[in-house]
Structure 1
Amino acid sequence: MPRPHCPRCSRPLERCLCALIPRLDSRTRVLILQHPSEVRHALNTARLAALGLCNAELRVGERFDDLPALLAQPGYRACLLFPGEAAQPLAQLAAENGDSALLLVVPDGTWRKARKLLHLNPQLAALPRVTLPEGLHSRYRLRKAPMPGALSTIEAVVHALDIVEAPARFDALLRPFEALIEGQIAAMGEETFRRNHQRD
């Protein structure tokens, strides 16, 4: 018999994260477009990010027929958080944007799946692209060989909001993410974690 899950955070009830999920206001609107393969992922940080931000929306799919309406938010300038030749640093776009608020569109999936989302949704691919600063490191300590800049979706959103809405900080959004990691380490045992994942 399957274990009961929390209908909000989707975690098993005995490991519900809802008490750790904040409700943070942001001037920036965050639209997360999640590839369906990520929904059942053990972390699913996109869901945690959307739950923790008042001005955020999570959509799941490969093709988004209502994308024009999602992007045409009055008072917002849409941009895509994704690397590319013409991508500019997010801080630069935010400075140029003046008083207008940003609609930050964040694809959620592996690089291959994220590129597929762009391919299937040409209006998404046509958005101006922005990137985070180089050299950021993920707090996800269970990756065998974490690449610099390979952030989880929730980490990317936090870094982006910290840039756009400085001096406001959004670290509280990472509390359930940290708890998830600690839970995974506890489940595998400290010795196994040190042997397989801890770096010198």
Structure 2
Amino acid sequence: MESDDPSSRSNSPPPQRRRICGNCDRPQAVCLCHVLPTTPITTNTRILIIHHPHEAHHKLNTARLLTKSVRHVTTHLSRKLLHSHLTDQSPFATIYLFPPSPTTPAVTLSDLKQTLNNHDNVLLIAFDATWKHAKEMVKASEGVLESVGAIRACLDVDENLTGGSIYDDELVLRKEPFKGCVSTLEAVARVLGAIEDKGDDIERVLIGVLREMVRLQAGFLKPVKLRPKLLKKSKQNEMKTLLE
């Protein structure tokens, strides 16, 4: 029988904290150092990540992996893009990642390099947040984006299809509202693949990091039991009446 004496409980060893890798900042069990570039990749494109506060502490956030993998990455914890975030970026052609809207068209990846007209200096802005928060962030940032003539760029998006990445089903780890919504790391990798001189190689390395993260993390996922969809009370009564 377990003793009720508080002193006996205080003598029990404290729970051990997970060991964190000092290089990739991930738990040792899911360390990614073996796939991260030995030296961060140098790109002509500079990457600016506006990091929503709610996303900052998410365990599966991929923006941190970008800062470990690519040299010219700057992150700001903010709910919108500010002019101060663009200091010394004036010589750059600016693009930002977001799907098109009825009022704001977007350039697809296949046309992006031609649109940039082989501009050597490009600033890529990514809003790192959930889909809902990203919409709010882009709306709040419209004034700054317009002031620098930023071009909206997008991956292929199909709002009629549910799911995650439109590229690789194995990369789905966090549920997205529809196909075309991908992680920040994957989206940036696809853009760099389209506009960098050695884009194919860069994209392959970054997607490799993401794929390994998903593979390791998937080993800790618990099986999900699907629950039957509950009808509203009015619908339940309607169905009951039909069955009587």
Q: Check whether TM > 0.5.
A: yes
**TM-score, length-normalised on structure 2?**
0.67
Contact 2:112 2:195 in 1 (8 A): no
Residue 130 of structure 1 corresponds to 153
Contact 1:35 1:113 in 2 (8 A): yes
Cα distance between partner residues in 2 of 1:109 and 1:156: 13
Residue 104 of structure 1 corresponds to 124
Aligned to 1:154, what secondary structure does the other structure show?
A: helix
Q: Which amino acid aligns with 1:55?
A: H
Range 86-95 or range 99-108, more displaced: 86-95
Gaps of 5+ in 2: 1-14, 159-165, 227-244
Deviations 1:4-62 (A, max 9, x none): 43355331234322332122121111111111111222211111112211122222222
Aligned to 1:37, what secondary structure does the other structure show?
A: coil
Report how many aligned residue pairs link the two structures: 192
Cα distance between partner residues in 1 of 2:71 and 2:56: 21
Cα distance between partner residues in 2 of 1:32 and 1:115: 15
Distance 1:57 1:159, change over 3 A: same
- Correspondent of 1:39 among 56, 67, 73: 56
Cα distance between partner residues in 2 of 1:92 and 1:144: 28
Contact 1:33 1:61 in 2 (8 A): yes
Cα distance between partner residues in 1 of 2:95 and 2:175: 32
Aligned to 2:117, what secondary structure does the other structure show?
A: coil
**Are 2:198 and 1:179 aligned?**
no
Contact 2:176 2:182 in 1 (8 A): no
Residue 42 of structure 2 corresponds to 25
Instruction: Please give the residue correspondences for 1:54-65 in structure 2 after superposition, counting only pairs within 5 Å.
Output: 54-65=71-82
Structure 1 vs Structure 2 CA RMSD: 2.8
Q: Which amino acid aligns with 1:86?
A: P
Gaps of 5+ in 1: none
Residue 116 of structure 1: how far off its partner (Å):
2.0
Residue 118 of structure 1: how far off its partner (Å):
2.2
Q: Which amino acid aligns with 2:208?
A: R
Range 147-156 or range 9-18, more displaced: 9-18
Q: Which amino acid aligns with 1:79?
A: I
Residue 107 of structure 2 corresponds to 88
Q: Which amino acid aligns with 1:78?
A: T
Cα distance between partner residues in 1 of 2:145 and 2:90: 20
Cα distance between partner residues in 1 of 2:198 and 2:184: 21
Deviations 1:130-167 (A, max 9, x none): 11235733442445687321211111111111111255
